[in-house]
Amino acid sequence: MAQQKGKNGDNANRWIVLAMVLLVLGTGVAFSILGQNNRENAPLAGLDGFTLKPAVASTIDVDNGSAITFNPGLPTQVDVWEDPQCPGCKNFENVMGDYLDSLARDKKATVRFHVLSFKGPESVRSANAAFCAADENHFLDFHNALFSVQTPGEGSGFFSTETLIKIGKEIGIDSPKFTDCVSKGSKADLVQTHYDSMSKFGVQSTPTIFINGKIWTPTPSAVGFSLDEFRSAVEAG
Protein backbone atom coordinates (compact mmCIF):
# COMPACT_ATOMS: atom_id res chain seq x y z
CA MET A 1 0.00 0.00 0.00
CA ALA A 2 2.83 2.36 0.86
CA GLN A 3 4.41 1.66 -2.54
CA GLN A 4 1.12 2.34 -4.35
CA LYS A 5 0.71 5.60 -2.45
CA GLY A 6 4.21 6.66 -3.49
CA LYS A 7 3.44 5.98 -7.13
CA ASN A 8 0.24 8.01 -6.92
CA GLY A 9 2.18 10.79 -5.25
CA ASP A 10 4.75 10.79 -8.06
CA ASN A 11 1.98 11.04 -10.66
CA ALA A 12 0.40 13.92 -8.79
CA ASN A 13 3.74 15.72 -8.64
CA ARG A 14 4.24 15.22 -12.37
CA TRP A 15 0.84 16.79 -13.10
CA ILE A 16 1.62 19.71 -10.81
CA VAL A 17 4.97 20.29 -12.53
CA LEU A 18 3.38 19.97 -15.98
CA ALA A 19 0.67 22.46 -15.02
CA MET A 20 3.30 24.90 -13.78
CA VAL A 21 5.31 24.56 -17.01
CA LEU A 22 2.22 25.17 -19.13
CA LEU A 23 1.33 28.18 -16.98
CA VAL A 24 4.81 29.65 -17.41
CA LEU A 25 4.78 29.01 -21.16
CA GLY A 26 1.31 30.47 -21.52
CA THR A 27 2.26 33.53 -19.53
CA GLY A 28 5.39 33.95 -21.64
CA VAL A 29 3.41 33.78 -24.87
CA ALA A 30 0.88 36.27 -23.54
CA PHE A 31 3.62 38.72 -22.54
CA SER A 32 5.35 38.18 -25.88
CA ILE A 33 2.17 39.01 -27.80
CA LEU A 34 1.51 41.98 -25.54
CA GLY A 35 5.06 43.20 -26.00
CA GLN A 36 4.82 42.84 -29.78
CA ASN A 37 1.54 44.75 -29.84
CA ASN A 38 3.02 47.48 -27.68
CA ARG A 39 6.02 47.80 -30.02
CA GLU A 40 3.77 47.95 -33.08
CA ASN A 41 1.46 50.52 -31.51
CA ALA A 42 4.17 52.64 -29.88
CA PRO A 43 4.66 55.01 -32.85
CA LEU A 44 0.90 55.63 -33.00
CA ALA A 45 1.09 57.01 -29.47
CA GLY A 46 2.03 60.24 -31.22
CA LEU A 47 -1.63 60.49 -32.22
CA ASP A 48 -2.95 60.39 -28.65
CA GLY A 49 -5.31 63.31 -28.23
CA PHE A 50 -5.35 64.02 -31.98
CA THR A 51 -8.57 65.85 -32.87
CA LEU A 52 -9.93 65.69 -36.39
CA LYS A 53 -10.41 69.25 -37.60
CA PRO A 54 -13.27 70.42 -39.84
CA ALA A 55 -13.20 69.00 -43.34
CA VAL A 56 -11.51 71.16 -45.97
CA ALA A 57 -11.97 70.42 -49.65
CA SER A 58 -8.99 70.37 -51.99
CA THR A 59 -8.56 70.10 -55.73
CA ILE A 60 -6.02 68.40 -57.99
CA ASP A 61 -3.97 70.96 -59.92
CA VAL A 62 -3.04 69.12 -63.11
CA ASP A 63 -0.94 72.06 -64.32
CA ASN A 64 1.26 71.81 -61.25
CA GLY A 65 2.12 68.14 -61.06
CA SER A 66 -1.40 67.12 -59.94
CA ALA A 67 -0.70 68.65 -56.54
CA ILE A 68 -3.28 68.51 -53.76
CA THR A 69 -4.30 72.16 -53.78
CA PHE A 70 -6.07 74.49 -51.37
CA ASN A 71 -7.44 77.93 -52.30
CA PRO A 72 -6.37 78.08 -55.95
CA GLY A 73 -5.91 81.51 -57.49
CA LEU A 74 -4.77 83.54 -54.47
CA PRO A 75 -1.87 86.01 -54.89
CA THR A 76 0.44 84.16 -52.50
CA GLN A 77 1.29 80.62 -53.58
CA VAL A 78 3.24 78.03 -51.61
CA ASP A 79 4.32 74.66 -53.00
CA VAL A 80 5.48 71.98 -50.57
CA TRP A 81 7.34 68.95 -51.93
CA GLU A 82 7.78 66.17 -49.37
CA ASP A 83 8.22 62.42 -49.08
CA PRO A 84 6.41 60.78 -46.12
CA GLN A 85 9.60 58.91 -45.15
CA CYS A 86 11.91 61.94 -45.40
CA PRO A 87 13.42 62.82 -41.97
CA GLY A 88 14.11 66.39 -43.08
CA CYS A 89 10.45 66.73 -44.05
CA LYS A 90 9.44 65.65 -40.56
CA ASN A 91 11.73 68.31 -39.12
CA PHE A 92 10.18 70.88 -41.46
CA GLU A 93 6.65 69.84 -40.50
CA ASN A 94 7.46 69.92 -36.79
CA VAL A 95 8.24 73.61 -37.17
CA MET A 96 5.98 74.73 -40.04
CA GLY A 97 3.07 72.29 -39.91
CA ASP A 98 0.64 74.44 -37.94
CA TYR A 99 1.46 77.50 -40.02
CA LEU A 100 0.93 75.67 -43.32
CA ASP A 101 -2.32 74.30 -41.92
CA SER A 102 -3.51 77.82 -41.11
CA LEU A 103 -2.53 79.11 -44.56
CA ALA A 104 -4.71 76.45 -46.14
CA ARG A 105 -7.64 76.52 -43.71
CA ASP A 106 -7.86 80.29 -43.34
CA LYS A 107 -7.49 80.91 -47.08
CA LYS A 108 -4.39 83.04 -46.65
CA ALA A 109 -2.56 81.48 -49.58
CA THR A 110 -2.80 78.92 -52.32
CA VAL A 111 -1.06 75.90 -50.84
CA ARG A 112 -0.09 72.96 -53.03
CA PHE A 113 1.14 69.73 -51.47
CA HIS A 114 3.24 67.43 -53.63
CA VAL A 115 3.39 64.06 -51.84
CA LEU A 116 6.34 62.22 -53.34
CA SER A 117 7.25 58.55 -53.39
CA PHE A 118 10.89 58.28 -54.42
CA LYS A 119 11.98 56.59 -51.17
CA GLY A 120 10.39 53.27 -52.01
CA PRO A 121 7.22 51.19 -51.61
CA GLU A 122 6.31 52.62 -48.21
CA SER A 123 6.35 56.12 -49.64
CA VAL A 124 4.18 54.93 -52.53
CA ARG A 125 1.63 53.46 -50.11
CA SER A 126 1.70 56.57 -47.90
CA ALA A 127 1.27 58.94 -50.84
CA ASN A 128 -1.65 56.85 -52.09
CA ALA A 129 -3.26 57.00 -48.63
CA ALA A 130 -2.78 60.78 -48.56
CA PHE A 131 -4.72 61.11 -51.83
CA CYS A 132 -7.41 58.84 -50.37
CA ALA A 133 -7.65 61.16 -47.35
CA ALA A 134 -7.99 64.12 -49.72
CA ASP A 135 -11.10 62.45 -51.16
CA GLU A 136 -12.48 62.51 -47.60
CA ASN A 137 -11.63 66.25 -47.35
CA HIS A 138 -9.17 65.45 -44.57
CA PHE A 139 -5.83 65.55 -46.33
CA LEU A 140 -4.46 68.15 -43.92
CA ASP A 141 -5.25 65.95 -40.91
CA PHE A 142 -3.81 62.80 -42.46
CA HIS A 143 -0.73 64.65 -43.70
CA ASN A 144 -0.03 65.92 -40.18
CA ALA A 145 -0.61 62.45 -38.74
CA LEU A 146 1.84 60.83 -41.18
CA PHE A 147 4.70 63.01 -40.05
CA SER A 148 3.69 62.75 -36.40
CA VAL A 149 4.18 58.98 -36.45
CA GLN A 150 7.07 58.78 -38.92
CA THR A 151 9.65 56.36 -37.49
CA PRO A 152 13.44 56.53 -37.86
CA GLY A 153 14.82 54.48 -40.71
CA GLU A 154 13.50 54.57 -44.24
CA GLY A 155 12.07 51.28 -45.47
CA SER A 156 11.56 49.99 -41.93
CA GLY A 157 8.26 48.36 -42.88
CA PHE A 158 6.24 50.64 -40.63
CA PHE A 159 4.09 52.26 -43.32
CA SER A 160 2.23 49.11 -44.29
CA THR A 161 -1.25 49.22 -45.79
CA GLU A 162 -2.66 48.02 -42.47
CA THR A 163 -0.86 50.73 -40.50
CA LEU A 164 -1.97 53.48 -42.89
CA ILE A 165 -5.59 52.37 -42.48
CA LYS A 166 -5.06 52.27 -38.73
CA ILE A 167 -3.64 55.81 -38.75
CA GLY A 168 -6.79 56.94 -40.52
CA LYS A 169 -9.00 55.23 -37.95
CA GLU A 170 -6.97 56.64 -35.06
CA ILE A 171 -7.66 60.20 -36.20
CA GLY A 172 -11.26 59.62 -37.31
CA ILE A 173 -10.99 58.81 -41.03
CA ASP A 174 -12.65 55.42 -41.01
CA SER A 175 -15.08 55.29 -43.91
CA PRO A 176 -15.24 52.09 -46.00
CA LYS A 177 -14.37 54.24 -49.01
CA PHE A 178 -11.08 55.33 -47.42
CA THR A 179 -10.19 51.79 -46.37
CA ASP A 180 -10.95 50.45 -49.84
CA CYS A 181 -8.94 53.22 -51.51
CA VAL A 182 -5.88 52.57 -49.34
CA SER A 183 -6.15 48.78 -49.66
CA LYS A 184 -6.44 48.80 -53.45
CA GLY A 185 -3.88 51.54 -54.12
CA SER A 186 -6.57 53.38 -56.04
CA LYS A 187 -4.52 56.56 -56.47
CA ALA A 188 -1.49 54.91 -58.05
CA ASP A 189 -1.75 57.03 -61.21
CA LEU A 190 -1.70 60.29 -59.24
CA VAL A 191 1.20 59.06 -57.11
CA GLN A 192 3.19 58.30 -60.26
CA THR A 193 2.30 61.67 -61.79
CA HIS A 194 3.65 63.39 -58.69
CA TYR A 195 6.89 61.46 -58.94
CA ASP A 196 7.27 62.15 -62.66
CA SER A 197 6.74 65.89 -62.15
CA MET A 198 9.85 66.28 -59.97
CA SER A 199 12.17 66.79 -62.94
CA LYS A 200 9.77 69.21 -64.64
CA PHE A 201 9.86 71.53 -61.63
CA GLY A 202 13.53 71.01 -60.83
CA VAL A 203 12.93 69.20 -57.55
CA GLN A 204 15.90 67.02 -56.58
CA SER A 205 15.43 66.55 -52.85
CA THR A 206 12.94 67.00 -50.06
CA PRO A 207 11.72 69.09 -48.49
CA THR A 208 11.67 71.58 -51.35
CA ILE A 209 9.53 74.68 -50.92
CA PHE A 210 8.51 77.22 -53.55
CA ILE A 211 7.04 80.62 -52.70
CA ASN A 212 5.41 82.24 -55.72
CA GLY A 213 7.39 80.01 -58.04
CA LYS A 214 10.80 80.60 -56.45
CA ILE A 215 12.65 78.07 -54.33
CA TRP A 216 12.80 79.12 -50.70
CA THR A 217 16.28 78.57 -49.29
CA PRO A 218 16.40 78.75 -45.50
CA THR A 219 19.36 80.30 -43.76
CA PRO A 220 21.70 77.51 -42.59
CA SER A 221 21.27 77.03 -38.87
CA ALA A 222 22.38 74.52 -36.28
CA VAL A 223 18.92 74.64 -34.71
CA GLY A 224 17.06 73.78 -37.92
CA PHE A 225 14.21 75.60 -39.63
CA SER A 226 12.97 79.00 -38.47
CA LEU A 227 9.23 79.64 -38.49
CA ASP A 228 9.76 83.41 -38.34
CA GLU A 229 12.01 83.29 -41.39
CA PHE A 230 9.55 81.18 -43.36
CA ARG A 231 6.55 83.30 -42.36
CA SER A 232 8.37 86.47 -43.39
CA ALA A 233 9.22 84.96 -46.77
CA VAL A 234 5.59 83.93 -47.35
CA GLU A 235 4.23 87.32 -46.33
CA ALA A 236 6.77 89.12 -48.51
CA GLY A 237 5.73 86.98 -51.45
pLDDT in tens, 82-132: 999 999 999 999 999 999 999 999 999 999 999 999 899 999 999 999 999
Cα pseudo-dihedral 105, 106, 108, 114, rounded to 10: 0
pTM score: 0.81
Handedness of CA 37, 177, 157, 85 (dihedral sign): negative
Give the DSSP letter of residue 158.
-
Please write the tens of the pLDDT for every residue from 2-14: 444 454 555 554 5
Instruction: Assign residue 162 a region (left: φ > 0; alpha: ψ between -120 and 50; beta: otherwise).
Output: alpha
Rounded distance between C-alpha atoms, residue 102 and residue 96, angstroms: 10
Reduced to 3 states (helix: H, G, I; strand: E, B; else coil), residue 220 is coil
Statement: residue 52 has pLDDT above 90: yes
Which tens digits make up the pLDDT trace of 207-225?
999 999 999 999 987 678 9
